[in-house]
Amino acid sequence: MNDLVLYNVNNRVGYITLNRPEKRNALSFDFVQQIKQVFLEAENDESCKVIVIKGNGEAFCSGADLASLQTMQNNTFDENLADSKNLMELFLLIYQSKKVVIAQVEGAALAGGCGLATVCDFCFATIQSKFAYTEVKIGFVPAIVMVFLIRKVGEQTAKRILLTAEMLNAEQAKNLQLINEVIVDEEIEEYVFNFAQKICTSASGQSLTLTKQMINEVQNKTLTEALNYAAEMNAFARQSNDCKSGINAFLNKEKIVW
C-alpha cells in the first residue's frame, strides 16, 4: 500500500485517505495515478459497499501542486494533454463508480480539489471548509471540472462559481448545491460513517449500481431514448435476485438487510 494514499474498510465503508498533508494534498501526476490505483482497489473490493474520500491535514485537496504548475509552463501540448487526461480519468472513475462515493471535506477544497469533491455522489463538509474553482485567477481554465459541475448544479450556478472564482464557505457551497450538508468539525467522522451505514444496510448494492448508471445515461439521451432505456432497465431489474428477495421480504412483512 502506498503511504500517500491510504485505504481501509470499516464495516463495509471503504476509506480512501489522501495522505500528503505537507503539500495540502495537492495533485501531481504521480499522486493522481496513485489515487486512481487505490480507488480501483476499493471499487473491486467485495468487502466495501460505500467509498469515502477524505484528506489528512488542514486541507481536503488544494488542487494542482506548485511543481505541476511550473512544469506545465514548459510542457509540450502532448505532455499537457497526457496530464489532463490523467486527472480526467480519475474524475470519470469516481463519477461512474458502481459504488456510492462520498467526499468528506475538512478544510480547503480548491480548483481540482473542489472538482474531486464535486464528482462524488455526496459531499459533506465541516463548518470551516472552503470551496473555490480558482483557475481563471491564474489565467487557466476549469476545463475538466466544469463538465461535472454543470451536471451537478446547472449552467447558471456553474457560471457564477467558475467565472467569479469566488471563495465559498461551507454554507454558501450548500446553498449553491455544491455540497449536501455542513457538519460540526468534531462530528463529521461519525456523521459520514452513519450516513454510509444507512446506505449499506437499507439499499441493494445492485440497485444502487443500476440507479447510478441510469442517472448518468439518461442525461445523454432524448426523451424517447431515455424512456425506452428506462423501460429496459426496469424489466432487467425485475429479474434480479435482489429485486425478487426485496419484494418477497416486503410482501411477507420481513425486514431485509442488504
Of the chain, the end-to-end C-alpha distance in Å amounts to: 29
Residue written as grid cell 481536503 = 60
Cα separation of 256 and 258, whole Å?
6
DSSP 120: S
DSSP summary character for residue 27 = B
C-alpha cell at 120: 462524488
Active-site residue, 79 included = no
Provide the 8-state DSSP code for 22: G
Look at residues 100, 33, 25, 90 and name the one whose alpha carbon lies nearest to residue 63. 25
Q: What is the dihedral of CA 194, 60, 180, 136, to 10 degrees?
A: -170
Contact 46, 85 (CB under 8 A): no
How far is 258 from 248, CA to CA, in rounded Å? 14
Pairing of strands 13-18, 5-10: antiparallel
SS3 161: helix
99 SS3 class: coil
Which one is catalytic: 89, 135, 155, 232? 135
- Residues identified as active-site: 135
